[in-house]
Amino acid sequence: MEQARVDFILASSRRNVGWLVDHQTEHWTWEHAILHMMEKEYDGQDYLVFAGFPRDPGKRTFLVEFAHREEAIRRRGVFADDYYGYWHKGRIPEITGDGLSLEQDWTRTSVEAAVQGIRDNGCDTGTIGVEWPRMSAAVLEELRRLLPKAKFVDVFGMLFDLRQVKSAEEMRRFRRAYEVATDTYRRVFQQAGVGVTPQELLLTEMQSIYSQGCSFSFAHIFSGSGQHDIAFTPPADRAIEPGDLGLFDLGVVYEGYGTDYARMAEVAPGNEKLRRYFPAILDGRKAIEQALRPGAKAGDVFLAGAKVLEEHGLAASISCLGHGIGIGCHEKPFLVANSEDRIEVGQTLVIEMYAEVKGLGPLLMEDGGYMTEEGWHSFSPLSTEILQLH
């Protein structure tokens, strides 16, 4: 913040608020049950959350949320010194029995609550960093009206950069997410086979994920030979047949941090074209893993894998062979052509080997891992070879 000459950061995106104060509203989980409607856009007024961070460590951080959620949020715990609730005054009832009312006898918008937090920190005449790509024009206009002496600058890119290097707590959450995802895959792989429907496999995934204290983010599961679509969700209600191909891609989230984790499978008698081309996916993965070294340029890492695919007559079909992962599924660094992102110790990255094959569909293998001085290390203990089902 000092280098950017920013006196105060006011984060407004769900992910950056979650990253700064651990108020997770992106994914519903059992421990966040009170927050299960967080993605709604309107509740009589716009639903917004803010996290306030002053540059001066002697000043106080804060969270802005609905006033009636304060007790539940504080009970769970957030990394913020103060809580600024907002409220639209309703009717204050006359209670004669045991009923409780959550109504407040005042009205304040979410932006007014954030402005109060900024004023209480004495930053109302300073430089305030906001997320322009994640903030509506109406909100920015109201901030400028209420804080006429403040200067507003964009810090979205700065926050995105800062999220790359993970803390020990973030790593703990990643390991748990991948642990549960791996256990879930093992259950599903044992169940999958001729006569089972992809929807049945999805239900197994959901039961496994939620029973272990995590939340479901996404899944792609099995379609038919030569017709499965990587973006097709929910899966087809059609029994798996001999000769089918399977593409498994799973997102499991633990306390805000999740997986991006894919494997391929085939059902006997198998597919000759899949067995001919899939070694290119594994060779490309190995090339990328070897290229992932501290200081390497992400664009060069991409080229290392792309050239291997091209040697086998394939292509990186969407010009992406990996990406960072964190509180968002896709974060910096991006392993794409011409990327200037740099690989650093402490980053968490997904190697995403993806190539489309005519008459076959997508070939995909995804592994998440973390960077050390020695290189990239996978979170996953599962084999990357084609899974053989019967």
Kindly state whether residue 271 falls inside one of the protein's structural domains: yes
What residues contact 13, with CB distance under 8 A and at least 6 apart? Answer: 131, 134, 156
Rounded-to-integer distance, Cα 328 and Cα 256, Å: 8
Does 229 lie in the same domain as 198? yes
Could you tell me the CATH number of the domain that includes residue 251? 3.90.230.10
The residue with tokens 């309107």 is 42
Q: Residue 307: what pLDDT? A: 98
Q: Residue 245: what pLDDT? A: 85
User: Which segments of the chain have a pLDDT < 50?
Assistant: 33-34, 36-37
Sequence-ordered strand ranges (E) for 24-92: 50-54, 62-66, 82-86
CA angle 270–183–343, rounded 5-degree value: 90
Beta-carbon count within 10 A of 33 CB:
9
Does 226 lie in the same domain as 113? no
Q: Which of 142, 162, 182 is the last residue of a domain?
A: 162
What phi and psi, each to the nearest 5 degrees, are found at residue 253?
Answer: -115, 130
pLDDT tens-digit map of 175-212: 999 999 999 999 999 999 999 998 899 999 999 999 99
Q: Which of 140, 162, 184 is the last residue of a domain?
A: 162
Q: Residue 45: what pLDDT? A: 65
Does 143 lie in the same domain as 254? no
Does 89 lie in the same domain as 35? yes
Rounded-to-integer distance, Cα 270 and Cα 388, Å: 8
Cα torsion 129, 133, 139, 143 to 10°: value is 20
Does 206 lie in the same domain as 150? no
Domain count, the chain: 2
* Bridge partners, residue 372, by sequence: 375
Kindly state whether residue 1 falls inside one of the protein's structural domains: no
* Global pTM value: 0.91
Does 285 lie in the same domain as 157? no
* Bridge partners, residue 249, by sequence: 220, 262
- Residue 219 belongs to what domain range? 168-389
Q: Which of 119, 146, 162 is the last residue of a domain?
A: 162
Kindly state whether residue 2 falls inside one of the protein's structural domains: no
Rounded-to-integer distance, Cα 304 and Cα 284, Å: 8
